[in-house]
């Protein structure tokens, strides 16, 4: 469940700096509402009830809205995937009905249009192009068609060129992408493009124009995502030659890790153990921290009127939209404050490294000596668990359960070499790393060896069920919308990830034996403990059949299991009633396998339990 704003934007006005962001509304069916904070501090919902600023670009969704000069809004609406304009009153559709999905919205300076990546889904693989949508209505214009996947369209100063980032199967965008530049003709279409940075083994993830002849780009030829100056002739210079990450995996087209601030750059950098906000002087490479006590900044950043707007968190504060004065250093959380438990109930996290594996430990409240622990496994698998306040974790630690978040080999935040530990080793390295952390907790007296569970969602759900069948460490597992059989998943999943497993396991059919050896579905009889499966019935990324077939095999082998499904939910939990039901079922599950009472939540029925 994602409780943070995905996008935030600062807007300069005559009265000062406004800040716009989107926020989840679980009580309103899980919609994303765009919120505006005026320069005087007044908060207002921009998007009327019933409208949802989301889209299905590459299924995970791209940048879904932009504020317009004068206070209007352009956005994509979830229910029909069309682009709308809102200037008070009812939103007006700018794009036609059809098999189209728009995302990664961008307002090119000086042009009365919004640019977007358009995905057309008919028969066969989706097609994508860069398009211009007139803000006053009219025909959608194709700017460029190039690689199979596209993101980050940008117009050069003076309007002479267009740039974008593209890549093709079997690469994922963190494997290798190309930074493309093409001349823009008078009719608004792009000519033949030139690749000025990137390649099959270099990942460019964000680009902004510096001037008409050069761009700033986050790319990783050194093995770390650093900021580079890229000239149109292809020459580059690393402005931040550090073993630090200035970006991470671009699961959602349109993410931003830096923003231009005149002749300076405001940027985030660090690792998954801590990501700072700083001002970079491109001429000297000097970095000046301005993030204050916030220890992690989410990948959305913008600048206007001397101030940067982003989304920040710390181990004791949730993600908040934050406005930072670049010169004065003043910082203020501008989003509405969230109700939090007493500070005494919040765990104090500890970053650790156990046998080369990065992890964050959250101790249980009020428990001394070896305690029951749950290993949390993030999704992706090319993702990460940052060291920030997570009320889901606090829900369990406040009830006497310790939590260990494992950033296993393959995680972002620690450089390409650490990510590449998972190449062709998914289902092996991730399982081994989680087991190493669990055994380390036992060896140091923190955890009770007989009471350690594992849980995760999506790819983390895969690692959960793989650890149950391929190790003997865990007493049970909770798998949210999990992959349970990699070969069938590769055949039935969406286009963006349809070749992901080429790098994680190996190409098919050449490496089919690996798929079969690692498949939890085919080895369900080895499960070391019970399994709770949780799945949304509208999941287009991992079909519910993955869960249904797995519990069928558990049943056939006499193992204990439960499967809960949720109508109206996709890949992740967004509705208030689902979020509550999932947490309560998970707590009840731990009570059953660890042997403690959970009278505050509904009972859970484990099939096959005597």
Write out pLDDT tens, residues 410-458: 999 999 999 999 999 999 999 999 999 999 999 999 999 999 999 999 9
With a cut of 90, say whether residue 3 has pLDDT above it: no
User: Which stretch of DSSP H or E encloses residue 83?
Assistant: strand 83-86
Buried b (16+ CB within 10 A) or exposed e, 365-396: bebeebbbbbbbbbbbbbbbbbbbbbbebbbb
Dihedral over Cα of 480, 485, 489, 492: its sign: negative
At residue 183, the 3 state secondary structure works out as strand
Q: Are 393 and 472 in contact (CB under 8 A)?
A: no
pLDDT of residue 488: 93
Q: For 173-225, what is each residue's pLDDT tens digit?
A: 999 999 999 999 999 999 999 999 999 999 999 999 999 999 999 999 999 99
First and final CA of the chain: distance in angstroms? 33
User: What distance in Å separates the CA atoms of residue 254 and residue 165, rounded to the nearest whole number?
Assistant: 11
Beta bridge partners of 45: 35
User: What distance in Å separates the CA atoms of residue 456 and residue 99, rounded to the nearest whole number?
Assistant: 33
DSSP codes, 86-120: ESSSS-EE-S-SSSEEEEEEE--TT-SEEEEEEEE
Q: How confident is the model at residue 358 (pLDDT cuts 50, 70, 90)?
A: very high
With a cut of 90, say whether residue 328 has pLDDT above it: no
DSSP state of 177: -
Q: How confident is the model at residue 1 (pLDDT cuts 50, 70, 90)?
A: low
Q: Are 403 and 393 in contact (CB under 8 A)?
A: yes
Average pLDDT over residues 351-365: 96
DSSP codes, 583-595: HHHHHHHHHHHHT
Q: Are 383 and 249 in contact (CB under 8 A)?
A: yes
Q: For 545-601, what is each residue's pLDDT tens digit?
A: 999 999 999 999 999 999 999 999 999 898 999 999 999 999 999 999 999 999 999
pLDDT of residue 369: 83
Q: How confident is the model at residue 323 (pLDDT cuts 50, 70, 90)?
A: very high
User: What distance in Å separates the CA atoms of residue 550 and residue 119, rounded to the nearest whole number?
Assistant: 33
Please enumerate in sequence order all residues whose Cβ is within 8 A of that of 263, keeping only pairs 6 or more positions apart, or say none: 282, 283
At residue 71, the 3 state secondary structure works out as coil
Q: How confident is the model at residue 4 (pLDDT cuts 50, 70, 90)?
A: confident
Q: How confident is the model at residue 382 (pLDDT cuts 50, 70, 90)?
A: very high
DSSP state of 253: T
Mean pLDDT score across all residues of the chain:
95
With a cut of 80, say whether residue 609 has pLDDT above it: no
User: What distance in Å separates the CA atoms of residue 82 and residue 94, rounded to the nearest whole number?
Assistant: 7
Q: Are 312 and 300 in contact (CB under 8 A)?
A: no
Query: pTM of this prediction?
Result: 0.95
pLDDT of residue 2: 58
DSSP state of 125: S
Average pLDDT over residues 72-79: 97
């Amino acid at each position: 469940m994602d409780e943070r704003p995905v996008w935030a934007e600062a807007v300069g006005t005559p009265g000062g700096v406004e800040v716009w962001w989107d926020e989840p509304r679980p009580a309103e069916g899980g919609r994303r509402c765009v919120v505006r904070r005026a320069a005087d501090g007044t908060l207002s919902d921009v998007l009327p009830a019933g409208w949802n600023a989301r889209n299905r670009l590459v299924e995970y969704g791209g940048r879904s809205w932009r504020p317009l000069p004068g206070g209007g809004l352009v956005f994509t609406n979830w229910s029909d995937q069309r682009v709308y304009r809102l200037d008070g009153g009812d939103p007006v559709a700018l794009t036609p009905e059809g098999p189209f999905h728009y995302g990664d919205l961008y307002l090119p300076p000086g042009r009365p249009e919004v640019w977007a990546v358009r995905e057309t889904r008919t028969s066969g693989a989706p097609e994508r192009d860069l398009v211009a949508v007139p803000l006053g209505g009219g025909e959608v214009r194709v700017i460029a068609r190039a690689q199979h996947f596209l993101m980050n369209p940008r117009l050069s100063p003076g309007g002479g060129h267009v740039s974008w980032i593209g890549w093709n199967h079997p690469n994922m965008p963190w494997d290798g992408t190309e930074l493309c530049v093409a001349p823009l003709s008078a009719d608004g279409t792009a000519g033949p493009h030139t690749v000025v940075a990137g390649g099959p083994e270099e990942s460019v993830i964000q680009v902004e124009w510096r001037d008409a002849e050069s761009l700033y780009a986050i790319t990783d030829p050194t093995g770390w995502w650093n900021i580079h100056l890229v000239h149109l002739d292809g020459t580059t210079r690393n402005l931040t030659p550090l073993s630090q990450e200035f970006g991470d995996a671009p699961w959602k087209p349109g993410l931003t890790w830096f923003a231009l601030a005149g002749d300076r750059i405001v940027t985030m950098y660090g690792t998954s153990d801590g990501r700072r906000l700083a001002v970079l002087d491109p001429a000297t490479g000097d970095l000046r921290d301005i993030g204050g006590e916030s220890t992690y900044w989410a990948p959305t950043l913008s600048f206007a009127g001397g101030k940067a707007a982003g989304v920040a968190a710390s181990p004791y504060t949730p993600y908040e939209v934050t406005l930072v004065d670049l010169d004065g250093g003043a910082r203020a959380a501008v989003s509405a404050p969230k109700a939090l438990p007493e500070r005494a109930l919040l765990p104090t996290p500890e970053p650790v490294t156990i046998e080369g594996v990065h992890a964050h430990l959250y101790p249980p409240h009020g428990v001394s000596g070896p305690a029951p622990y749950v290993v949390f496994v993030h999704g992706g698998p090319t993702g990460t668990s940052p060291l920030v306040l997570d009320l889901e974790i606090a829900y369990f630690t406040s009830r006497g359960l310790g939590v260990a978040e494992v950033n296993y080999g393959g995680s972002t935040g620690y450089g390409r070499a650490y990510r590449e530990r998972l190449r062709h080793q998914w289902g092996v390295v991730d399982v081994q790393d989680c087991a190493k952390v669990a055994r380390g907790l036992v060896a140091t007296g923190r955890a009770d060896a007989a009471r350690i569970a594992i849980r995760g969602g999506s790819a983390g759900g895969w690692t959960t069920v793989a650890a149950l069948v391929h190790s003997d460490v865990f007493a049970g597992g909770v798998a949210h919308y999990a992959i349970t059989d990699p070969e069938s998943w590769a055949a039935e999943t969406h286009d963006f990830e349809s070749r992901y497993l080429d790098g994680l396991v190996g190409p098919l059919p050449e490496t089919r034996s690996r798929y079969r050896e690692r498949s939890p579905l085919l080895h369900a009889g080895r499960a070391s403990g019970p399994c709770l499966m949780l799945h949304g019935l509208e999941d287009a990324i991992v079909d519910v059949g993955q869960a249904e077939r797995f519990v069928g095999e558990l049943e056939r082998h006499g193992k204990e299991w439960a499967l809960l499904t949720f109508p109206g939910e996709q890949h992740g939990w967004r509705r208030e009633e689902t979020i509550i039901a999932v947490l309560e079922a998970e707590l009840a599950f731990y009570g059953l396998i660890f042997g403690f009472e959970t009278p505050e939540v509904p009972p859970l029925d484990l099939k096959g339990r005597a």
